[in-house]
Structure 1
Amino acid sequence: MQKKKINKALIIAVALIWGVVIYKFAAPYFLTNDMVVTADALVSPPKIFLRKKDTFNLNIPDRDPFLGKIISKRKTTVSVPSRSQKKSRSKTVVAKNWPRIEYLGFIKSKESKSRLGLLRVNGVLKRVRNGADIQGVKVKTISQDKITLQFQKDIKDFLKSN
């Protein structure tokens, strides 16, 4: 008799727990709230929490705690170096005249991973790889549609011409 009462009480408790779980899960789908949200409720200024910075002075002991020696304080002196007047030199500007360059594309073989680019420099057809130097023009990168070249510390990209 006692076991029957305990079993009935446990079955009711389990049914109540499952009922609450199902209600919590299914309630948002079936119940609607007719609450009207106004623009004032949506836009509210955020609360700003400012921390006050605390400042303090450190008291540095004269004795080293690890070595047991007394540390003498060094006096720092600021010396101002004398400045000599520099002679102003006029810098001569050298004009950078790029050669006439036309990028025609690249070739890639199956065995080699590097690309071989085709350039026309001042009307002469040249085959170049990354790092090659032709008439002072150094090849930086070769891609399908452009080539990057460097001439006297000046870097330019040349697009593929059809």
Structure 2
Amino acid sequence: MVFSILLLACQIAGGVVYNITTSEQLFPNKTLVSSGKIFELGFFTPNGSENQYVGIWYKNFTPSKIVWVANRNLPLVYTDRSAKLTIGSDGNLKLVDGQQNIVWSTNASGRSNDTSAALLDSGNFVLQDANYSEIWGSFNDPTDTLLPSMKIGVNAKTVEKKT
């Protein structure tokens, strides 16, 4: 009986991840939620599709409004329940399929080996170092939706695009 109660508690608590680390990965049955519960990140399958993606949506909008997609150019097969979003040994975020093939990665330079990923209340999904300095952010790799705190333009000094 105690085992059944513990199993039920783990199943209920197991649905939400608060950040991704080398020891805390995101699987298709879990979601990452921003601290203010505004945005949610997880695996999703569009209606009528056999493809699976990792994306961000507004947590409390019905129907869901997807605002960012990681693997938009290389979807997973819907039945791949072994896929995961994790932090690799190089400190980058990696989406891997059930055969451990890398489907998508942040490929950030200047990374550290002590990184974590968090979903901010702005909707920005960030890879950060141990001091919470941003190494990579989804706002720098936008899809078709602009969110209120995104910046668009070009840095005149570095000629770097800012989104």
TM-score bucket of the superposed structures, by smaller chain: under 0.3
Q: Which has the higher contact order (CA 8 A, sep 6+)?
A: 2
Q: Which has the larger radius of gyration?
A: 1
